[in-house]
Structure 1
Amino acid sequence: MRNIRARNFLLAGAVGLLVLHLCKDFIDHKTIRIDVREENSHIRQPTTENSYVYSWPSCQQNMSAANISGFSSLPGGIKDFLYYRHCRHFPMLLDLPDKCGGVDKSADIFLLLVIKSSPVNYERREVLRKTWAKERLHNGVWIRRIFISGTMDSGFEKKRLNKLLELEQREYNDILQWDFSDTFYNLTLKQVLFLEWMERNCPKVRFLLNGDDDVFANTDNMVDYLQSLKDNDGSKHLFTGHLIQNVGPIRSSGSKYFIPVQVQESNSYPPYCGGGGFLLSGHTALVIYNMSQSITILPIDDVYMGMCLAKAGLSPVSHMGVKTAGLHIPSSKLDAHDPCYYKEVLLVHRFLPSHMYLMWHRIHDPNLKCGASKKLL
């Protein structure tokens, strides 16, 4: 009897320790998930190995979305978007709290390059670091660089990609990463998260280039253009690029840009600039962030920026040097990659990494001679 009691006592103790251990893990997990945004560590590990964009406990699925008329006929990606479009806060995995030198010193950054990049696009990031996104002093002002990213895949592959970004972060100090799924429908989320980060860490930056990692950006020309704005040092409104207006949602379900009425009822969009790349002032970036707090997220990020501008009573303007739809070459017999076509522009979408590297060096060749017929502006 004494042995049985002893065994029962030991068994109860073991069970108690196991329960205590599990509770501690649960509490620790919840603490990490909720408090990770308050930490200031340089690099943070993912909260869970298999966490996905919608698995964060603080952001629950909005089941009432399924009651929307016609919901069952929508594509899976749109359904997921509607279930979780209210989710705006995700843990940071990689942070750069001192990138701008502090709140006050952020005014020393004339042009901040904010480049949207998915974890798998390592080659693009490497080429950009050596070409137009190189951090440098140009015309007496500083150009700085930040890549913004989410996460991809799950399990071991997600862990490997996160490790890749962590290694890049250690070497270059230029990546912001959040624990959400880096997909097309989450591009607006990525923008909003960056603007929140900027408002906290880099509010006095003068100007920003917001663009994709597959654009060719002549950042030297951008600095020249921005410095020519004699009445604007970044403290006034500026939002310029490839202006798109008098268009509305694409209702064809086969389109990448499909927006059903369940996502937006209106058949028109406000004026906006193509999301491949646009320039804006620090002042306007903060205005957009403030407006975004009361505007429901739309999955088309460039349109969403236009919606924020419209609510603020501001307008985007066209810049003929921004070609997010690509360059129009006068004849098929001409070399579409002749550097003379690109020497005067601000931005062209899209470029392969190898073409990007070559073009940057060709337009900076001191022996390059361009006649008037080779200039497209």
Structure 2
Amino acid sequence: MARIFKKHFRTMITAAVVLGLLVVIYLNDFEDFSDFTEPLDLNVRSQNSQAKLSTRSFSNKYTWPKCQRNESASNITGFSSLPDNIKDFLSYHHCLHFPMLLDVPDKCGGVDGSADVFLLLVIKTSAMNYDRREVLRKTWAKERKHNGVWIRRLFIAGTMGSGFEEERLNQLLEIEHRKHNDILQWDFKDSFYNLTLKQILFLEWMERNCPNARFLMNGDDDVLANTDNMVVYLQSLHKNNGSKHLFTGHLIQYVGPIRNPHSKYYVPVQVHESNSYPPYCGGGGFILSGYTALVIYNMSHSIPLIPIDDVYMGMCLAKAGLRPTFHFGVRTAGLHIPSKSIDSYDPCYYKDMLLVHRFLSGNLYLMWQRLHDPNLNCSTSTPV
């Protein structure tokens, strides 16, 4: 009887020890995972509770721990005299991975199905630009089949504001996302100097979820993109189905960093020493192949970020031995209309364009309707 009791007692002790170990492991795992969802210093804002739940629904593989400020940045010569936004950029530009708040992993139909996406529209937006996104969904960014090929749409965003304002804007994006399934959002501060980070985070997402998309249009949410014309143009590239290099738009070359600290585009020598930039295309909008998009992402692993995103794209191309090209139909500086007596929004000036920058939402919606008016007659108009 004593032997039986001792046997059962040892079994009970063993079970208790195993149970205790499982509890410890569970708690440790939970603590590790909670670290992934903490907001990041300065570059990342606090999340509302629903956004936190959304983040926790993703695999740990694609969430990241807190990125610490690089305190040694203060040792850079002249650091103390730099504007605060430059100081923040230098202190955090090593931070390249951030938690996703909103994701669309199946947007392209999976890795294998992504080859069916002929044109992927990648639109840089900010949380507050609701009206722009709604107009684009009803006009040139509408997901559809055109000339037998698929056009898909994604908006890419960070977070904005603080406290209640940030909570409201995040909730707005989440509501839109539930309805349209078209927003990628990361938990970093959405600012002009973080546009390059936004681009690289998207390319990382593309490599993971949509690596075989044929072509991309990458642009701002205030452009008129004649996506019908884009499809026709891309289908005319008989020797390139997206598997070869293409990067075209408003070509800018023979320029260098703006050293005026009062300029929006200020880049001090502490960020970029060279007085010249490689050729690049204006960031308002450009067209590239899926092949080139992934080349740029691969090059980004060895090129430190600079805050001017379109220049950074050019730097990645240059390192790969590739060049951007000029396309007459891409006007990121807008159209030059020859006379003030002519309506600058005459659709006949825009009907053959691929992309024109700087459109207010109302003008953009009206222009799209007029361009698709079956009674549009441009026989007497002079093209730009």
**What TM-score results when the alignment is normalised by the length of structure 2?**
0.86
Output the CA distance in 2 between the equivalents of 1:372 and 1:227: 29
Helix, strand or coil at the partner of 1:103? helix
Any unmatched runs of 5+ in structure 1?
1-21, 35-41, 49-55
Distance in structure 2 (CA, Å) of the matches to 1:47 and 1:339 = 44
Provide the residue aligned with 1:259 in structure 2. 267
Deviation, 1:45, is 4.0
Q: Tell me by how many angstroms 1:375 deviates.
A: 1.3
Rounded to whole Å, the distance in 2 between the matches of 1:257 and 1:29 is: 37
Structure 2 counterpart of 1:228, from 236, 246, 254: 236
Aligned with 1:93: secondary structure?
A: strand
Map 1:339-354; keep pairs closer than 5 Å.
Answer: 339-354=347-362
CA distance in structure 1 between the aligned counterparts of 2:380 and 2:71, rounded to whole angstroms: 61
Equivalence for 1:39? none
Offset of 1:160 from its aligned partner? Answer: 1.1
Q: In the alignment, is the contact (CA less than 8 A) between 1:118 and 1:149 conserved in 2?
A: yes
- Structure 1 distance, partners of 2:51, 2:327, is 38
Equivalent residue, structure 2, for 1:184: 192
* Equivalent in 128, 131, 154 of residue 139 of structure 2: 131
Give per-residue Cα distances to partners, 1:122-173, cap 9 Å, x unaligned: 0000000000000000000000000000000111111111111111011000
Matching residue of 1:146? 154
- Secondary structure in 2 aligned to 1:249? coil
Task: Name the % identity.
Answer: 72
Counterpart among 299, 304, 329 of residue 321 in structure 1: 329
Does 2:103 correspond to 1:98?
A: no
Q: Which one of 156, 160, 163 corresponds to residue 168 of structure 2?
A: 160
Compared CA separation, residues 242 and 28, structure 1 to 2 (3 A): closer
1:81 matched to 2:81? The reply is no
CA distance in 2, matches of 1:171, 1:182: 23
Task: Work out whether 1:198 is the aligned partner of 2:222.
Answer: no
Conserved? CA contact 1:111–1:144, under 8 Å: yes
Do 1:44 and 1:94's aligned partners in 2 also have CA atoms closer than 8 Å?
Answer: no
Determine the C-alpha separation between the residues in 1 that align with 2:202 and 2:36: 23
Name 2:35's counterpart in structure 1: 30
Are residues 333 and 319 of structure 1, via their aligned partners in 2, closer, same or farther at CA, if it must alter by over 3 Å? same
Supply the AA of the counterpart residue of 2:163: G
Look up the match of 2:60: none
3-state SS in 2 of match to 1:145: strand
Aligned to 1:64: 72
- Matched to 1:203, the amino acid is P
- Partner of residue 284 from structure 1, selected from 262, 280, 292: 292
SS of the aligned residue for 1:29 comes to helix
**Residue 122 of structure 2 contacts residue 218 of structure 2 at CA under 8 Å; is this kept in 1?**
yes
Q: Which residue of 2 aligns with 1:51?
A: none
SS in 1 for 2:255: coil
SS at match of 1:275: strand
Code of the aligned partner of 2:328: M
Aligned equivalents of 2:32 and 2:51: distance in 1? 22
How many angstroms does 1:309 deviate by? 0.1
Matched, 1:109 2:114: no
> Over residues 27-56 of structure 1, what are the superposed CA-to-partner deviations in whole Å (9 max), with x where a residue is unaligned?
55215459xxxxxxx9754779xxxxxxx8
Q: For the residues of structure 1 that align with 2:55 and 2:350, how far apart are their CA atoms?
A: 44
How far, CA to CA, are the matches of 2:380 and 2:196 in structure 1? Answer: 40
- Rounded to whole Å, the distance in 1 between the matches of 2:53 and 2:334 is 39
Shift of 1:346: 0.4
Shift of 1:372: 5.8
Q: Could you tell me how far apart the structure 2 residues matched to 1:114 and 1:67 are?
A: 38
Partners of 2:55 and 2:102 within 8 A in 1 = no
In structure 2, distance between residues paired with 1:223 and 1:44: 38
Report how many residues are paired: 341
CA distance in 2 between partners of 1:343 and 1:30 (Å): 51
CA distance in 1, matches of 2:298, 2:36: 28
**Contact 1:43–1:95 under 8 Å retained in 2:** no
Task: Find the aligned partners of 2:235 and 2:55 in 1 and give their Cα distance.
Answer: 43
1:259-290 deviations in whole A, cap 9, x for unaligned? 00111110000000000000000000000000
TM-score, normalised by the number of residues in structure 1 = 0.87
Per-residue deviation, 1:23: 9.3
Q: Could you tell me which of 160, 177, 188 is aligned with 1:169?
A: 177
Query: Residue 90 of structure 1 aligns to which amino acid in structure 2?
Result: F
Q: Match of 2:120, SS?
A: strand
Look up the equivalent residue of 2:350 and give its one-letter code.
Answer: Y
What's 1:11 paired with?
none
Asked if the contact 2:36–2:99 (Cα under 8 Å) also holds between the matched residues in 1, the reply is: no
Q: Relative to 1, partners in 2 of residues 1:348 and 1:195: Cα closer, same or farther, differing over 3 Å?
A: same
Task: Give the Cα–Cα distance (whole angstroms) in 2 for the partners of residues 70 and 89 of structure 1.
Answer: 28
d(CA) in 1 for partners of 2:68 and 2:52?
23
RMSD between aligned residues: 2.0
Cα distance 1:107–1:24, how it changes in 2: closer, same or farther (>3 A)?
Answer: closer
Structure 2 residue runs without a partner (length 5+): 1-26, 40-49, 57-63
- The AA in structure 1 aligned to 2:196 is T
